[in-house]
Structure 1
Amino acid sequence: MPLAIKHPKDFWTGIIFLAFGLSAMFIGRDYPMGTAGKMGPAYFPTVLGGLLTLIGSIAVYRSFKRRGEAIEKFHLKELFIVLSAVVLFGVLMRGAGLGPAAVVLIMISAYASPQFKWHEALLLAIGMAGFAVLVFVKLLGLPLQVFGPWLQF
């Protein structure tokens, strides 16, 4: 009797978890393990990798036992837009500062949505940038510039 995948989302989620878990365990194999009381550099990746592998194995097993919906279309254009926004955020952080970089990140990421509306996205971007400045710069005291050297006159 051939195996049939009944829940493709669980199957591929499990495969991703297995890949990350086994990779972490493989990378940590050359480092000293240590003990639970005195952890070595391999302890955390090995334990975390083992847990990810266990979760992935369970997800793959469940994909053969319970029914689920098929995987939808893979949205490459939207993925590229969001990834570009994250890269641009990293570039802008140093020159423009946290505030403008966060606004650009949120505006470009929001553009990837089919429900994108300029005024709503702009209000969200300003609010989230203000929240990021409040949390990271004011409350946590991280040494981030709100406005970078490109925007100082």
Structure 2
Amino acid sequence: MAAPTRGPSAASRSAPHGVPEGAPGAAAASGERAPTRIRVRAPQDLASGLLIAAFGLSALWMGRDWPTGTLASVQSGFFPRMIGTLMVLAGAVVAGRSLLVHGPALPSWNWRPLAGVTAAVLAFAGTVETLGLVPAVLILVALGNLAGQPLRPGPLALLGGVLAAGCVALFVWGLGLPLQVWPLQVWPLWVSP
């Protein structure tokens, strides 16, 4: 019968002092080659790069059947393919940079601004033809106000009025777009084109 040995065992002698066996640093400290892991140093850049590349890939996919033509005779598919390719390359550069340079982590997700802005844009798109431009802009401003720090009623009304007047001046008077300004075209003629 062999006597038990005193002191550390052969396996525990290979690990450095204070590092238990099987710990991630034990293999590297003992001279064994640890498996390499890709370390993301800037998660926000990685997410941005992947999003840019995804938009580029979707542009390439949507324009896949459009004719590109040549540089001398550019056709409808040339610019979507060019922009899509540039977006994929830019996304790859930004995502690759996230592996090399330290950057900020991903912020926590806040649903309120996303829901508020989405609801405001969808409401504008759904009401601009039926209610007219001015009420649709006012609805857009009111719902967009719920997305962040709400304004008091006075500044909110001023913002809505200025934006509605600016939209009428730019799109109806300036560009001459055939947009309905009010729900019924019985309002004073000075707001119509």
% identical equivalent positions? 32
Moved more, 49-58 or 67-76: 67-76
Q: Which has the higher contact order (CA 8 A, sep 6+)?
A: 1
SS, match of residue 30 in structure 1: coil
- Check conservation: 2:56, 2:83, Cα contact below 8 A: yes
> Residue 107 of structure 2 corresponds to which residue in structure 1?
72
- Between Structure 1 and Structure 2, how many residues are aligned? 152
> Residue 66 of structure 2 corresponds to which residue in structure 1?
31
After superposition, where does 1:36-115 map in structure 2 within 5 Å? 36-115=71-150
1:114 Cα deviation from its structure 2 partner: 2.5
> Residue 42 of structure 2 corresponds to which residue in structure 1?
7
Summarize the Cα distance change of 1:4–1:111 in structure 2 as closer, same or farther, 3 Å threshold.
same
1:28 Cα deviation from its structure 2 partner: 2.6
- Check conservation: 1:93, 1:148, Cα contact below 8 A: no
> Residue 121 of structure 1 corresponds to which residue in structure 2?
156
TM (norm. structure 2) is: 0.72
Please give the per-residue CA displacement for 1:103-144, whole angstroms capped at 9, x wherever unaligned. Answer: 110121022113533322221111111111111111111111
- Check conservation: 2:67, 2:77, Cα contact below 8 A: yes
- Structure 2 residue runs of 5 or longer lacking an equivalent are 1-35, 188-193
1:88 Cα deviation from its structure 2 partner: 0.9
- Check conservation: 2:41, 2:99, Cα contact below 8 A: yes
Summarize the Cα distance change of 1:27–1:110 in structure 2 as closer, same or farther, 3 Å threshold.
same
1:94 Cα deviation from its structure 2 partner: 1.3
Partner Cα distance (2:76, 2:130) in 1: 35
TM (norm. structure 1) is: 0.89
Summarize the Cα distance change of 1:87–1:152 in structure 2 as closer, same or farther, 3 Å threshold.
farther
Give the counterpart letter for 2:42 in structure 1.
H
Q: Rg: which structure is higher?
A: 2
Please give the per-residue CA displacement for 1:80-105, whole angstroms capped at 9, x wherever unaligned. Answer: 12111111111211121111110110
Please give the per-residue CA displacement for 1:11-64, whole angstroms capped at 9, x wherever unaligned. Answer: 111101111112222333333321012123321221111010111011101111
Summarize the Cα distance change of 1:35–1:7 in structure 2 as closer, same or farther, 3 Å threshold.
same
Partner Cα distance (1:39, 1:138) in 2: 34
Which segments of structure 1 move beyond 6 Å, counting only runs of 4 or more?
A: none
Partner Cα distance (1:31, 1:96) in 2: 37
Q: Higher helix proportion, which one? A: 1
